[in-house]
Amino acid sequence: MIIVKRIEQILIKVIIIQFVFLLLTQLMFHQLDIMPKLNQLTKYEGVNESTLTEILQTFQRGK
């Protein structure tokens, strides 16, 4: 039982650390504009240009 409790504690710590790194990475990429080429690529690919109707049409095509 002690081993299971210790593994749970380790997993919770790993999850928290990964969540913090995810937030920091998102902040760096989107707010601080660390990699402007990545931002240009997403605009070129049209990732940011999708409207709600285009997204809904995409989901309807998948059925």
**Overall average pLDDT of the 53-61 stretch:** 59
Backbone φ, ψ for residue 30 (5° rounding): -100, -35
Give the span between the Cα atoms of 3 and 11, in whole angstroms.
Answer: 12
- Confidence at residue 6, expressed as pLDDT on a 0 to 100 scale: 95
Is-above-0.85 flag for pTM? no
- What confidence tens digit (pLDDT) does each residue in 12-56 have? 999 999 999 999 988 887 777 776 776 666 665 555 555 656 655
